[in-house]
Amino acid sequence: MKPTTRAVLRSLVPVVCPPEAVPLTEAIVDHMGLALDASPALLRTGLDVGLVAYDLGAIARHGKRARSLTGEAAERYFRSWEHGITPMHRQMAHGINQLMSLSCYEQPEMMERVGYRPAPWIAEVTKKRLTVFADDIAKQDRQILAPDPLRRNRETTSDLIAAKKVGS
């Protein structure tokens, strides 16, 4: 992630994420980097360009870059993009909100906060399934490999090759 992109995203965490997520700013931005790495190149480029525009656009309005805005000024500036005069402004704000919200609630602390604890649940039900339904699971595993040809009594390719060799 480019330093500019990172700096702007860092400044947006208090605007987009709930207050309790602010101590997780670095982890949230790191996660956004991972998500962006897996995204289409066009989207990554669009976000980089958009964030530069967002960063510099604040100078005309607030006399400093967006990455340096805090509190109410940062909030007002982001809102001006959410309700921006062009679809590009609105789409950019929407995209940042989506991506950052995703990364915010991927943090273990935030999942815990909303009561989402999938790992122990998965471990519990996996163990239960393997214990209670072992016979049916084994039966299906056998079924998957059991012979059941789609067509019977057909010539296989090996037959054809063998026939060709005999013929020659």
Partner 1 sequence: MAVVALHEGTRPSGVFTRHDIHGDTVVDCDVVIVGSGAGGATMAAELAEAGIDVVVVEEGSYYGTRDFTADTSAMIRQLYRDGGATMAIGNPPIMFQEGRAVGGSTVINGGMSWRTPEPILQRWEHEFGLAGIARELEPYFDRVERRIHVAPMDESAIGNDNWLLKKGADAKGWKYVGNLRNQVHCIGSNRCAFGCPTGAKQSALVSYIPRALHYGARVYADVVVDRITRHGKRATGVMGHVRRPDGSRGHALAVRAKLVVSACGAIHTPALLERSGFRSPSGLIGHNLSLHPNVKVVAIFDEDVTGWKGAHQAFQVREFEEQGLGVFAAVNVPPSILAMSFPHRGAQLGALMQQYNHMVLAGLLCEDTTTGRVRTLRGKPQAFYQLNAHDTANMQRGLVLLSELLFAAGAKRVLLPFAHAKEVATPDEAHRLLDKPIPTHGWEVVTVHMMGTARMGADRSAAVTDFHGQVYDADRLIVADASLFPTPIRVNPMETIMALATHAAGHVIDNTRRLLS
Q: Which residues bind partner 1 (CB under 8 A)?
A: 14-21, 31, 34-35, 37-40, 43, 75, 87, 94, 97-99, 101-106, 110-111, 113-116, 118-119, 121-122, 125-126, 128-129, 132-133, 136-137, 140-141, 143-145, 147-151, 154-160
Which is nearer to partner 1, 63 or 129 (by Cβ)? 129
User: Could you tell me the smallest distance in angstroms from the CB atom of residue 78 to partner 1?
Assistant: 8
22/59 with CB nearer partner 1: 22
CA 17, CA 15: separation in Å to the nearest integer? Answer: 6
Burial per residue of 14-42, b for 16 or more beta-carbon CB atoms within 10 angstroms, e otherwise: bbbbeeebeebbebbbebbeeebeeeeee
- Distance between terminal CA atoms of the chain? 64
Q: Are 7 and 54 in contact (CB under 8 A)?
A: no
Residue from 25, 125, 26 nearest 117 by CA: 125
Minimum CB separation of residue 90 from partner 1 in Å reads 8
What single letter denotes the amino acid at residue 126?
Answer: T
* Least gap, CB of 23 to partner 1 (angstroms): 13
Q: How far is the CB of 31 from partner 1 (least distance, A)?
A: 7
Question: Residue 70 or 126: which CB sits closer to partner 1?
Answer: 126
